[in-house]
Amino acid sequence: MFTMTMISILTILISYIVMTIASLISKKTITDREKNSPYECGFDPKGSARFPFSLRFFLIAVIFLIFDVEITLLLPLASIFNVTNLFSWLITGALFLLILLAGLYYEWAQGALEWSK
């Protein structure tokens, strides 16, 4: 136990020392207009690099991500079928799917799933 503690402390201490030394001797960058501009083969940029982003696309991407995570939460439900009793398995699965469907209906009713408006 003592050996593991000492090894852990020594590892943390060495990594802290290395990070501190690297921070102290690293090359400091000089900020100027050319270094802050986006790279376009050495020429001046034709337009702004910060163009407006479609909020509708972002909303669809977030909704997809949420449903993707919910699918990964549903997958273990099939693997515990033999371990748990049938009633609790059905109640858990049905309640989770009901919450999923309620969220989907709410997004549909709000018009979040319509791509063009």
pLDDT tens for each residue of 58-106: 888 888 888 888 888 888 888 888 888 999 889 988 998 898 889 889 8
Residue 52 contacts residue 41 (beta carbons within 8 Å): no
pLDDT tens per residue, range 32-43: 666 666 665 666
Residue 29, pLDDT score: 61
The answer for 56, left when phi > 0, alpha when psi is -120 to 50, beta otherwise, is alpha
Q: What would the two tokens of residue 28 be?
A: 């400091």
pTM reported for the whole predicted model: 0.48
H or E stretch at 25: helix 2-25
DSSP string, 42-91: TSPPSS-S-PPPPHHHHHHHHHHHHHHHHHHHHHHHHHTTTTS-HHHHHH
The count of other CB atoms within 10 Å of the CB of residue 103 is 14
Residue 15, pLDDT score: 95
